[in-house]
């Protein structure tokens, strides 16, 4: 450990674990707001930065994905060093990492899916939205074989859940191939989606339209698809006067209902994909012997407490693909506690709690801090709160002092790891743009870790 005078004469050293929006905002806030010089190592287990902005935001939302240009400015800051392709817990232990820096901010998100916990959930043809999203965004860890076999020959898909991720999934499945062509989806994704003969996509809410968590802009977008028509059963939209009164103060719910009512009574028309939104139905079982053939659902009513109760009326929705989009959850890193119920790291204003007490030098931001909620910009405020706690602790002198700044990358390299730095990421970036150009696209995402690393090695060899 460095001695005190050494610690005072050098910048405050921070490692941020996770180079998604929460991590990048934390790094940016640290370098901009700290009253003392700060250097940040921004670690990610992938060779690429941007987290869910690259591997979560739907590729047919190019304006939202353009936020990566803004995020890139933080990576260009000389006080921030991107260190990709490094897995904390495998390539470097938490204890090791903490010996290199004065503070660690965990911002690695919530990558796991939540299960439905119903029979048949593990059948082929049943996927978590996290699987499908990872695949269509070209995440290196996506299970290509499983997703692609689930999509083979799909005519009828059911998406369980009525959040924005469910709408992303439904939209991507219902889009015409020519609508997806300009995106940066990997070529094999475009090919598989173009070959799937999708006729019907049903999005299923276990409660009513007034309780749906999707936002109005995302809902409205469903109406603009080239080959799909949105269908809503007017009976699903009937609300009791008490329910009407209850949602009157909820702008999102009021607007959603107005949009849904505008669609009631539409017809799909021949040759168009029927994109159905159905409410008050909860899945009780996925049917099928060796692959999914349908979902058995129970009708529900929503009580005054907002909870769904089964009515005992059942119905079967035929389906050859079922995607559960019922939320994400986070997990701990080896050596870091996680609350199993919420899937978040226990914290107080971003300070990690161990045995209920703040652990000096350990912080969280983003989904692993507050759970999977909000939009990209939400992480800015979230990171600010965490950084404020960190800087207050630095000022109060409670951080322990870490080692030499360059050591982390050198240590990793000496152990045979292959850290990807900013220049290496630029080589990947250029290779993706060049790959896109071969087909007249702005970019094609390279999905295999080995291909990403090969682009780095090729640039290094030049
Ligand atoms: P979400 O908004 O929490 O939606 C989860 C959905 O799953 C809810 O409709 C929930 O219904 C349902 N659900 C949960 N358990 C269920 C069960 N056992 N059976 C049936 N349904 C169940 O989560 P998300 O869609 O994963 O989105 C995560 C966050 O990312 C959100 O903040 C979202 O807005 C954001 N996001 C934003 C965009 C965008 O801005 N374009 C795009 C994607 C994601 P209940 O309400 O009844 O529990």
Compute the distance from residue 57 Cα to the ligand 1 centre, in Å: 14
To test ligand 1's pocket by mutation, which of 326, 330, 366, 376 has the most ligand atoms within 8 angstroms of CB?
A: 326
- Percent of residues, the chain, with pLDDT higher than 90: 86
In degrees and rounded to multiples of 5, residue 48 shows phi and psi of -125, 145
Cα of 349 vs centre of ligand 1, distance in Å, is 24
Q: What does the pLDDT read at residue 123?
A: 98
Separation of CA 150 and ligand 1 centre (Å): 22
* Mean pLDDT of the 53-72 span: 91
pLDDT of residue 403: 63
Q: Binding site for NADP(+): which residues?
A: 206-207, 218, 374
Residue 314 CA to ligand 1 center (angstroms) comes to: 24
Query: What does pLDDT average to over the chain?
Result: 94
Q: Atom of ligand 1 at shortest distance to CA of 212?
A: 9
pLDDT score of 400 more than 90: no
320-368 pLDDT, tens digit each = 999 999 999 999 899 999 999 999 999 999 999 999 999 999 999 999 9
CATH of domain 4-111+329-420: 3.40.50.720
Q: Which residues of 380-402 are buried (b: 16+ CB within 10 A; e: fewer)?
A: bebbbbbbebbbebbeeeebebb
Confidence (pLDDT) at 2: 41
**Dist. CA 250–CA 427, nearest whole Å:** 47
DSSP β-bridge partners for residue 232: 264, 277
Q: How far apart are CA 99 and CA 95, in angstroms?
A: 6
How much is the pLDDT for 406? 55
Mean per-residue pLDDT for 392-421?
86
Q: Which CATH class is domain 115-326?
A: alpha beta
Distance 315 CA to ligand 1 centre (A): 23
The residue whose C-alpha atom lies closest to atom 7 belonging to ligand 1 is 326
Q: Which ligand 1 atom sits closest to the C-alpha of 61?
A: 41
87-96, 192-201, 448-457: least confident range: 87-96
Mutate to test the pocket of ligand 1, among 172, 209, 213 (most ligand atoms within 8 A of CB): 213
Among residues of the chain, what percentage have pLDDT more than 70?
Answer: 97
Residues of the chain with CATH 3.50.50.60: 115-326
CB burial of 272-306 (b: ≥16 within 10 Å; e: otherwise) equals bbbbbbbbbbbbebbbbeeebbbbbbbebebeeee
Tokens of 60: 């047919």
Ligand 1 test: best mutation among 129, 164, 306, most atoms within 8 Å of CB? 164
Q: Which of 61-65, 103-107, 248-252 has the lowest mean pLDDT?
A: 61-65
Q: What pLDDT does 140 receive?
A: 98
Give the rounded distance of the alpha carbon of 76 from its chain centre.
Answer: 24
Q: Is the pLDDT of residue 289 over 90?
A: yes
Atom of ligand 1 lying closest to residue 207 CA = 47
Cα–Cα distances in angstroms (integers) from residue 99 to residues 81, 95, 418, 430, in the given order: 17, 6, 20, 35
Residue 366: left if φ>0, alpha if ψ -120 to 50, beta else—which one? left
Q: What is the band of 379 on the pLDDT scale with cuts at 50, 70, 90?
A: very high
φ/ψ of residue 52, rounded to 5: -70, -15
pLDDT at 196 over 80: yes
| Radius of gyration of the chain from its Cα atoms, rounded to whole angstroms | 24
Higher per-residue pLDDT: 241 or 219: 219
Would you say residue 309 has pLDDT above 90?
yes
Give the mean model confidence (pLDDT) for residues 28-35.
94
How many Å lie between the centroid of ligand 1 and the Cα of residue 145? 26
CATH 3.40.50.720 in the chain, residues? 4-111+329-420
Residue ID of nearest Cα to ligand 1 atom 30: 373
**How confident is the model at residue 72, as a pLDDT?**
93
pLDDT tens by residue, 74-120: 999 999 999 999 999 999 999 999 989 999 999 999 999 999 999 99
Q: Confidence class of residue 159 from pLDDT cuts 50, 70 and 90?
A: very high
Confidence of residue 5 (pLDDT cuts 50, 70, 90): very low
Q: Provide the pLDDT for residue 268.
A: 82
Q: Whose alpha carbon is nearest atom 26 of ligand 1? A: 327
For 143, phi then psi, to 5°, come to: -90, 85
Ligand 1, residue 116: give the atom nearest the CA.
Answer: 18
Nearest CA to ligand 1 atom 1: 163
Mean pLDDT to the nearest integer, 267-272: 87
Quick check: 7 pLDDT over 60?
no
Q: Which two tokens stand for residue 343?
A: 């899937």
Say whether 43 sits in a helix, a strand or coil: strand
Q: Does the pLDDT value for residue 386 go beyond 70? A: yes
Position 6 pLDDT exceeds 60: no
pLDDT of 1 reads 39
Q: Give residue 8's pLDDT.
A: 60
Q: Which residues line ligand 1 (CB under 6 A)?
A: 116, 160-166, 168, 206-207, 211, 213, 218, 282, 325-328, 372-375
69 or 326, greater pLDDT: 326
322 alpha carbon – ligand 1 mean position (Å): 16
CA of 166 relative to ligand 1 center, distance in Å:
7
For the chain, how are helix, strand and coil distributed in percent, rounded to 5?
Answer: 40, 20, 40
Q: Tell me: the pLDDT tens digits for 132-151?
A: 999 999 999 999 999 999 99
pLDDT tier for residue 246 given thresholds of 50, 70 and 90? confident
Distance in Å, CA 437 to ligand 1 centroid: 35
Nearest protein Cα to ligand 1, atom 38: 164
Give the pLDDT of residue 404. 57
- The band of 461, judged by pLDDT with boundaries at 50, 70 and 90, is confident
């Amino acid at each position: 450990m460095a001695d005190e005078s050494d610690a005072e004469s050098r910048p405050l050293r921070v490692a941020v674990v996770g180079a998604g929006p929460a991590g990048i905002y934390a790094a940016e806030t640290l370098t901009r707001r700290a009253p003392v010089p700060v250097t940040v190592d921004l670690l990610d287990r992938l060779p690429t930065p941007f987290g869910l902005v690259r591997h979560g935001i739907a590729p047919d939302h190019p304006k939202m994905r353009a936020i990566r240009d803004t995020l890139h400015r933080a990576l260009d800051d000389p006080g921030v060093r991107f260190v990709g392709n490094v897995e904390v817990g495998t390539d470097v232990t938490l204890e090791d990492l903490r010996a290199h820096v004065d503070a660690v901010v965990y911002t690695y998100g919530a990558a796991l899916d939540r299960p439905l916990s119903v029979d048949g959930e593990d059948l082929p043809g049943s996927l978590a939205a996290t699987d499908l999203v990872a695949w269509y965004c070209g995440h290196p860890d996506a299970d290509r074989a499983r997703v692609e076999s689930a999509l083979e020959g799909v005519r009828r898909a059911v998406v369980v859940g009525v959040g924005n991720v469910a709408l992303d999934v439904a939209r991507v499945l219902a889009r015409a191939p020519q609508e997806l062509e300009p995106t940066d989806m990997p070529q094999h994704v475009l090919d598989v989606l173009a070959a799937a003969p999708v006729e019907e996509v049903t999005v299923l809410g276990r409660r009513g339209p007034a309780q749906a968590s999707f936002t109005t802009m995302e809902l409205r977008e469903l109406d603009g698809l080239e080959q799909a028509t949105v269908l809503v059963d007017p009976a699903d939209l009937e609300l009791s006067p008490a329910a009407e009164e209850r949602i009157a103060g909820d702008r999102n719910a009021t607007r959603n209902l107005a949009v849904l009512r505008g669609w009631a009574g539409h017809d799909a028309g021949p040759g168009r994909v029927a994109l159905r939104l159905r409410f008050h139905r909860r899945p009780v079982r996925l049917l099928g012997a060796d692959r999914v053939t349908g979902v058995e659902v129970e009708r529900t009513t929503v009580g005054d407490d907002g909870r769904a109760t089964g009515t005992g009326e059942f119905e079967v929705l035929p389906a050859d693909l079922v995607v559960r989009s019922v939320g994400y959850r986070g997990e701990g890193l080896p050596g870091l506690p996680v609350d199993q119920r919420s899937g978040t790291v226990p914290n107080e204003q971003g300070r990690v709690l161990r045995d209920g007490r703040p652990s000096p030098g350990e912080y969280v931001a983003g989904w692993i801090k507050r759970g999977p909620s909000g939009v990209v910009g939400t992480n800015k405020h979230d990171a600010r709160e965490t950084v404020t706690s960190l800087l207050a602790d630095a000022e109060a002198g409670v951080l322990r002092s870490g080692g030499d700044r360059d050591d982390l990358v050198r240590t990793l390299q000496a152990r045979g790891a292959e850290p990807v730095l900013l220049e290496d990421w630029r080589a990947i970036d250029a290779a993706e743009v060049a790959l896109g150009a071969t087909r007249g696209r702005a970019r094609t995402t390279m999905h295999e870790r080995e291909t990403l690393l090969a682009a780095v090695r090729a640039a290094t060899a030049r």
